[in-house]
Amino acid sequence: MPSWPRNQWYVAAYSSEVSEGLLARTICGEPLVLYRTQDGEAVALADRCVHRRYPLSESHLKDDQIICGYHGFTYDRTGACVAAPGQKRIPRAARVPSFTVHEQDSFVWVWIGDQDRADTTQIPRAPWLASPDYTVVRGMEPLKARYSLLVDNLMDLSHETYLHGGYIGTPEVAETPITTEVDEEANVVYVSRHMDDAECPPFYAKSTGIEGRISRWQDVEYHPPCLYLLHSRIAPVGSVPPDEGPDKDAFHVEVVYAITPSTEHETYDFWMVARDFALDDADVTEFLATNNHTVVMQDVVALDLLETVVEGEKDNYQELSINIDTGGLAARRILKKLTDASEEVTA
C-alpha cells in the first residue's frame, strides 16, 4: 500500500514553471508531463506514450499537442491520440490519462486519484503568495526521503534550535512549550509556540532591523496532505499582542511549504517566504532568499540521512515521542485516516 492518500490535491509545480515547454514531475508515483497551451491553460497528462511507454516529457510540443519523440504518436490536451504513424484510423485505446489541474496562489495543483471526485473548493489557500501586499521568495528542493519525514520536521520546530542555529534557531524555540489543536472535521492541525522574550535570530534581525530581544510567535496550520503554513510574527519585546490592540510594531512573515510525495522515498519540497515589510528592498529579498535556501538545504541533508537510517532499521526500532511531538503525531493520524479512506474507495 502507498504511504500517501489518493483522491487529494497536490502541488505539482509553481505556475511560473509551467510554460510552453514540457515539464516532468512524478506525483504520488504517477509520472506526469505538464505544459501550458497557447491560450494559457495548464495541462497534466500521464508521462508515458501508449505505444512503447516512451516519456512524453522527452518529446516535442507543437500547436498544443505532444508528438512522441520515439514513434510520433500525437496527443491533444485531453490525452487523446490524434495521429499515429503509418495509418489514418486511430485505435480507441490510443489515449493517455489526463489529470485535473487548478491554478491558485501561484501553484499548479493536480488531483491524484479518481478524476470524477476532484473538487477545487477543497484546495487550501495561501493568498499571500499572490498578493501585492507581500514580497515572496521561493524555491523547490527534491529530497531523497519519504514525505512523512518532512511533515514530522515541519510540525516540530524545536529542531530549529539545533539544526538551524545561526539562521532561524534560538534557545527559546526548543525551551517554549507548544499548544496543539486538531480540527477533526476539516482535517487541519494547529501548533502554536508564543515566545514573549526571545533572542532575535539573524534571519529576522538582519531583515527587519530589530535590535535586541523580541516577542516571537510561531503559529502553524497543516492542511494534510500537502500544504503547510507557518504564520510568523516578530516584534520588539513589550509590543502589544495583536489580540489586544494595533499590531503596528510587528513584522509578519508567512512561511509556506508544499509537501508533495514523488515516490516512496522521494519528495518535492516547495518552499516560500512572504513578508509584509521592506517590500521593494532588493537587499532584503536577496538576504531572505539566500538564508532560507540555506535552512532548507540543512533540512534536506538531515532528512536524506534520516531516510537511510529509517529504511535500514524499519523492522526493529521503537520510536520515543514526547510533548513536542503532539502536532506531528496528530498529522500522522490524519494522514493515515485519509490514506485508509482512499484505499477503501479504490477497493
Task: Per residue of the chain (347 residues), give pLDDT as tens.
Answer: 568 999 999 999 999 999 989 999 999 999 999 999 999 999 999 999 999 999 999 999 999 999 999 999 999 999 999 999 999 999 989 999 999 999 999 999 999 999 999 999 999 999 999 999 999 999 999 999 999 999 999 999 999 999 999 999 999 999 999 999 999 999 999 999 999 999 999 999 999 999 899 999 999 999 999 999 999 999 999 876 777 766 778 999 999 999 999 999 999 999 999 999 999 999 999 999 999 999 999 999 999 999 999 998 877 778 899 999 999 999 999 999 999 998 766 55
pLDDT of residue 238: 82
**CATH 2.102.10.10: which residues of the chain?**
8-122
DSSP code at position 326: H
Residue with cell 529504511: 311
Cα 103 from Cα 110, distance rounded (Å) = 9
Cα 108 from Cα 105, distance rounded (Å) = 9
Question: Sign of the CA dihedral 338, 340, 344, 346?
Answer: positive
Task: Write down the architecture of domain 127-346 according to CATH.
Answer: Alpha-Beta Complex (3.90)
Residue type, 148: S
Domain 8-122 class, CATH top level: mainly beta
N- to C-terminal Cα distance for the chain? 12
The angle formed by the CA atoms of residues 340, 149 and 1, to the nearest 5 degrees, is 30
Contact 261, 147 (CB under 8 A): yes
**CATH 3.90.380.10: which residues of the chain?**
127-346
Q: How far is CA 59 from CA 1, 55, 85, 99, in A?
A: 32, 7, 15, 19
CA-based nearest residue to 150, from 257, 289, 21, 274: 257
Residue 110 pairs in a beta bridge with 10, 101
pLDDT of residue 20: 82
Q: Which long-range contacts (CB under 8 A, 24 or more apart) does 289-295 make?
A: 289/137, 289/139, 291/167, 291/202, 291/203, 292/137, 292/139, 292/203, 293/139, 294/167, 295/164, 295/167, 295/168, 295/203
Cα 100 from Cα 106, distance rounded (Å) = 17
Alpha helices in the chain, H assignment, sequence order: 147-155, 160-163, 171-175, 202-208, 282-312, 326-346
Question: Phi first, then psi: what are they for 100, rounded to 5°?
Answer: -65, 130
Q: Exposed, middle or buried, 282 (CB in 10 Å: 0-12/13-18/19+)? A: exposed
- Chain centre to alpha carbon of residue 156: 16
pLDDT of residue 313: 85
Q: How far is CA 196 from CA 4, 46, 246, 303, in A?
A: 38, 51, 17, 31
Buried b (16+ CB within 10 A) or exposed e, 90-102: eeeebbbebbbbb
Q: Exposed, middle or buried, 288 (CB in 10 Å: 0-12/13-18/19+)? A: buried
Contact 182, 330 (CB under 8 A): yes
CA-based nearest residue to 285, from 295, 275, 294: 275
pLDDT of residue 345: 64
